[in-house]
Amino acid sequence: MEKGLETTGIPSMEELEKTPGFPSSKRLMEGPVAVIECLQEIPCDPCETACPLGAIEVGKPITNLPELDEDKCTGCGICIPLCPGLAIFVIDYTYSEDEALVTFPYEFLPLPEEDSLVNATDRSGRPLTKGRIVKVLARKQFDRTVVVSIAVLKKYAQRVRGIVLNRGKGE
């Protein structure tokens, strides 16, 4: 079957690299930076004001793709819980010698525990590698979207986009 966002729901690397929200590999190597995986021209713009440094621009018309100013972005992650599409991540390739830190939004229960080892999943939800939960941030202003950071081997950082825990049965 054809690959890509429109047929599978999973953006391909080629599609991602073409979008203005995707930082250059040079910038990625320099430290934490936002990765905006928002690839279609839809009427949406909360990310633009979410960033206190003005590193994201949608402009007019509102259907423009969000553009990242990678030099302004410090990778602080404030924009992550404010994007209703849950489409923004932060990657830090400088986290440790062999690990990168991937930060992503999470809206399921149970929440992961800090320092626990969990299955890190790729964009299709498949477990890819083990990762260590470094931070679980739940803030009132995040309005119930929790921001989770996981350390994984550097070679997986561009593919890890979440975790899988045994989701509770609602009870």
Partner 1 sequence: MRIKKHPILGSLEKKKEVNIVVDGKMLKAIEGEPIASALMANKIITFRKTRITKEPRGYFCGIGLCTDCMMIVNGVPNVRTCITPVTKGMKIETQTV
Partner 2 sequence: MLTTDVVVVGGGSAGLAAAIESSKAGAEVLLIDENARPGGQLFKQIHKFFGSRRHYAGIRGFEIGRRLLEEAHKNEVEIKLNTIIFGILGNKIGIVEDKTHAKWLKAKTIIFSCGASEKLISFPGWTLPGVMGAGAAQTIINLHRVLPGSRFLMIGSGNVGLVVSYQILQAGAEVVAIIEALPKIGGYGIHASKIRRAGVQIAVSHTIKEAYGKDKVEAVTIGALDKNMNLVPGSEKRFKVDVICLAVGLKPNIELPLMAGCETMFLANLGGQVPIHDENMETTVEGIYVAGDCAGIEEVSTAIESGRLAGIAVAEKLGYLTKNEAYDVKVNLREVLDELRGGPFGMQRKYAKQQLIRRAAHLKGV
Is position 83 an interface residue for ligand SF4 (rule: CB under 6 A)?
Answer: yes
80, HSE (Cβ side, Cα atoms, 13 Å): 28
Give the C-alpha separation, 104 to 83, whole Å: 11
User: Among ligand SF4, partner 1, partner 2, none, what does residue 20 contact (CB within 5–8 Å per kind)?
Assistant: none
Residues in region 49-78 near ligand SF4 by CB under 6 A: 50-51, 53, 55-56, 66, 73-78
Structure tokens at 171: 């009870």
Element (H, E) at 150: strand 146-153
52 binds partner 2 (CB under 8 A): no
How many amino acids of this chain bind partner 2 (CB under 8 A)?
50
Which stretch in 23-31, 38-46, 69-77, 148-156 sits in contact with partner 2 by CB under 8 A? 38-46
CA distance 84 to 121: 21
The partner in contact with residue 76, picked from partner 1, partner 2, ligand SF4, none with C-beta cut-offs of 5 to 8 angstroms by kind, is: ligand SF4
* 140 binds partner 2, rule: CB under 8 A: no
79 binds ligand SF4 (CB under 6 A): yes
Nearest of 149, 24, 34 to residue 99 by alpha carbon: 149
Element (H, E) at 72: none
Question: Tokens 């986009």 correspond to what residue?
Answer: 161
- Provide the binding-site residues for partner 1, judged by CB under 8 A: 107-109, 144, 146, 168-171
